[in-house]
């Protein structure tokens, strides 16, 4: 299956730029995919802009961040493109959890490359967000190959592993309430067992707390975490990554935000901080 041409699904002008949603055939995932891109005012072939990739969490699509985070205003000011892919492959031929659980299958791709059937034929979100999608974006739009990555929850896990596994590919990485040690928490254990099999050794290459130990690049990390997040103690466990970072000397800032939960109200409250953090690195 070849990567198909882009089909425009929707376009809306906002803050002087354009929010556009596209559909295309993904050769990596073997299905049709959608993504949304925000292009700031002034983006052109003569003046390409850097890109921030946003990876969303469980149950989300490309639209959650675009419609709820309020990111376009500050991205327009800073001259940043935003790209938000879907969270998993989708379609009639794409397998889903037989119990329709929210934390496995459709909407829960976990940004890894599955090795177990029937998932391995489609669930290769890591290759899609690291390689296929950026190549497509950089060919089709007035953007540069200067890029960064961030995400929320499962998408925060995705952002961290993309950056830690690819030294030099991203200028910045940040996350909201990320799953930092999926091997040790229920969400990750369920996903890894299904997608990767029961050999826990194979899980290590998809766990930020393990990858940080031997990372070839010490790219600084910014994390925001709400202290009233219902998943803080059971699924997220930021203290585990903090312990690793302190031990190996990886630069990381974790900000515990009093009173905030796991929702997009939390993300919208601090998205400006994160975009300014990315802009400094992307344009520095």
Alpha-carbon span 154 to 262, nearest angstrom = 12
List, by residue number, the catalytic residues: 153, 229, 262
Alpha-carbon span 127 to 74, nearest angstrom = 29
* Residue pair 66/40 in contact by the 8 Å Cβ criterion: no
Secondary structure class of 215 (helix, strand, coil) = coil
Question: Would you say the C-alpha torsion 62, 236, 253, 129 has a positive or negative sign?
Answer: negative
Alpha-carbon span 231 to 237, nearest angstrom = 9
* Residue pair 23/6 in contact by the 8 Å Cβ criterion: yes
Alpha-carbon span 239 to 183, nearest angstrom = 15
Q: Which of 29, 176, 198, 196 is nearest to 116 (CA)?
A: 196
- Residue 271: both structure tokens together: 């998205």
């Amino acid at each position: 299956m070849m990567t198909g041409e882009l089909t425009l699904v929707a376009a809306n002008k906002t803050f002087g730029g354009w929010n556009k949603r596209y559909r295309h055939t993904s050769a990596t995932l073997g299905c049709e995919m959608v993504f949304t891109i925000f292009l700031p005012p002034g983006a052109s072939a003569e003046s390409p802009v850097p890109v921030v990739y946003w990876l969303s969490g469980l149950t989300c699509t490309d639209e959650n961040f675009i419609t709820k985070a309020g990111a376009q205003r500050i991205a327009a000011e800073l001259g940043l493109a935003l790209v938000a892919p879907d969270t998993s492959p989708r379609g009639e031929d794409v397998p889903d959890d037989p119990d329709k659980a929210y934390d496995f299958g459709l909407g829960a791709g976990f940004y890894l490359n599955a090795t177990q059937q029937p998932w391995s034929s489609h669930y290769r979100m890591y290759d899609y967000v690291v390689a296929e999608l950026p190549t497509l974006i950089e060919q089709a739009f007035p953007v540069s190959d200067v890029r960064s990555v961030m995400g929320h929850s499962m998408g925060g896990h995705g952002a961290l592993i993309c950056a830690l596994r690819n030294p030099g590919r991203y200028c910045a990485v940040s996350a909201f309430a990320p799953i930092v040690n999926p091997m040790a928490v229920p969400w990750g254990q369920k996903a890894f067992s299904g997608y990767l099999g029961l050999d826990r050794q194979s899980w290590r290459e998809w766990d930020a707390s393990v990858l940080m130990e031997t990372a070839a690049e010490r790219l600084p990390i910014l994390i925001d975490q709400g202290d009233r997040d219902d998943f803080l103690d059971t699924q997220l466990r930021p203290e585990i990554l903090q312990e690793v970072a302190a031990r190996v000397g990886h630069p990381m800032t974790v900000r515990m935000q009093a009173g905030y939960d796991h929702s997009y109200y939390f993300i919208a409250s601090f998205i400006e901080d994160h975009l300014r953090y990315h802009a400094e690195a992307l344009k520095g």
